[in-house]
Amino acid sequence: MKHMRWIALIMIGLLLAACAHQFSGVAPNPIGPAPDFALTDENGQPFKLSDLRGKWILLAYGYTHCPDVCPLTLSHLRDVKQAIDPTGDKVQVAFVTIDPDRDTPDVMRQYVGHFDQQFEYKFKGLSGTPAQIAAAAQPYNVKYEKKADNSANGYSMAHTAEVYLIDPQFNWRMTFPFGIEAQEIASDVQYLMQNSEAK
């Protein structure tokens, strides 16, 4: 009888271990305040990232003339939003251009509008001067450079393509590498939303 109790306890332990969440993203060590920055939003209005304090922010960098990597990232973020907060404003996507020469606020509004059209709470499309963009990119370790190639599409921008998660207390909670699936990001965000004290 005593053995049975031990076996039951071990079984419960194994079950809990199996259910432990495996993160796809990488948490900064230590977790700390998210770097803030000031840019211009898709309506031409001044915007600070910390204006979104109180929401779960999914932050990505790219450019609108990018036909391959950036639409994949934004489609993933649309799918994450659709999966966990389709009608609410708890999850906010912000897309920062690293190509301010071409990506004006008007272009950013049109571009993010292709990915947020089913939502009442829209994505932020952020632009600015080259110096403002550099100041918004550097603290998140975002790297980018202009590449003159012989494409009819004009120059392209090489850039890192991670997604950063910031919690409602404005702490940088996680970095998602390029190439992971939307459901993996959604699973991590959902877990953190439900266990928001867990760090």
Partner 1 sequence: MKRLAIISVVLMLVVSMAACGTSSSSGNSITVSDAWARPSTMMDHAGAAYMVLQNNGTTEDKLLAVESDVAQTIELHQTTADSGGMMSMSPVSNIPVPANGKTELKPGGFHVMLINLTRELKAGDKIQFTLNFEKAGKVPVTAEVKDQ
Residues within the interface to partner 1 (CB under 8 A): 64-69, 71-72, 75, 107, 110-111, 114, 143-145, 147, 149-153, 156, 158-162, 177-179
For 43, half-sphere exposure in the C-beta direction (CA atoms, 13 angstrom radius) is 6
Cis amide leading into 30 (omega within 30): yes
Closer by beta carbon to partner 1, 58 or else 98: 98
> What does the alpha-carbon distance between residue 133 and residue 135 come to, in Å, rounded to a whole number?
5
Closer by beta carbon to partner 1, 117 or else 196: 117
Contact 189, 82 (CB under 8 A): no
Instruction: Give me the sign of the Cα torsion angle 194, 181, 73, 71.
Output: negative
Contact 145, 158 (CB under 8 A): yes
Closer by beta carbon to partner 1, 29 or else 151: 151
State in angstroms the smallest separation of the CB of 174 from partner 1: 16
Closer by beta carbon to partner 1, 50 or else 160: 160
State in angstroms the smallest separation of the CB of 175 from partner 1: 10
State in angstroms the smallest separation of the CB of 118 from partner 1: 10
State in angstroms the smallest separation of the CB of 161 from partner 1: 5
